[in-house]
Amino acid sequence: MSYRLRLAHLYPDQMNIYGDRGNILTLTQRCAWRGIELELVPVGVGAAIDWPSIDMAFFGGGQDSGQALIADDFVRHQGPQLREAIEDNLVLLSICGGYQLLGHYFLTHTGERLPGVGAIDVHTVGGSVRLIGNIVVEAGDWPGAAGTLAPGTRLVGFENHSGRTYLGAGVRPMGRVLAGHGNNGEDGTEGAVYRNTFGCYMHGSLLPKNPQFADYLIGLALQRRYGAGATLAPLDDGLELVAQRTMVDRLVHG
């Protein structure tokens, strides 16, 4: 059976720092290697998107200036339909600024309250010190998918954020921080999971460094579109996994 998926890239011109576009390249290439047709749908300011036709979405991080340019459009223009799509199990990966905008609000260090779309139960508070460096996260128990990513899988990335994100009861963390700061540098959590939506601070870019996670997202999207029988053909990720283990050993075990 031939598969076809649609991937929405939210605000690619404004929200693309620390290699975040590499996540799009990774999803595209890993689909191509398997013969899965992946259509990329850029979502710019004012764009009209048929969200029910979208299988996966990516929302990267941006400089404060870039985030300011798109925040109002995202909240007012895309927010209502995107919330519906998330409730309908859209597969979505959001990083840093994109992660923050999916939550309820961002309270800046000057006391200004900036609204998010409220799609996931998190809020962010600005800090005076940036949390910067490589990060290792032990993944939690996530919803099932073809080629399920096993709980305890160690993911690597790079974080650079001043916002401290706190989770509400409506989400669970992506995982436990083994090295680095994570959501807020206080509670040992990184990221948030709600239905098929994942938010985190892991730049770097995330998916090339963690092919298991890339395939997990593709598998979720295939099962949502084509049913539980949709599976992914295996790929040879030997080199990628050696690089991943090397970073884990260096950061966790010293």
Cβ contacts of 240 within 8 Å, gap of 6 or more: 208, 209, 211
123 labelled catalytic: no
The active-site residue out of 123, 161, 181, 203 is 203
CA-to-CA distance for 148 and 220, rounded, in angstroms? 9
161 labelled catalytic: no
The active-site residue out of 96, 123, 161, 200 is 96
Residues 23/60, Cβ–Cβ less than 8 Å: yes
DSSP sequence for 174-225: SEEEEES-TTTSSSSEE-EEETTEEEE--BS-HHHH-HHHHHHHHHHHHHHH
Rg (CA), the chain: 17
Token pair for 161: 């954020």
CA-to-CA distance for 28 and 48, rounded, in angstroms? 23
Residues 141/163, Cβ–Cβ less than 8 Å: no
| Catalytically active residues, by annotation | 96, 203
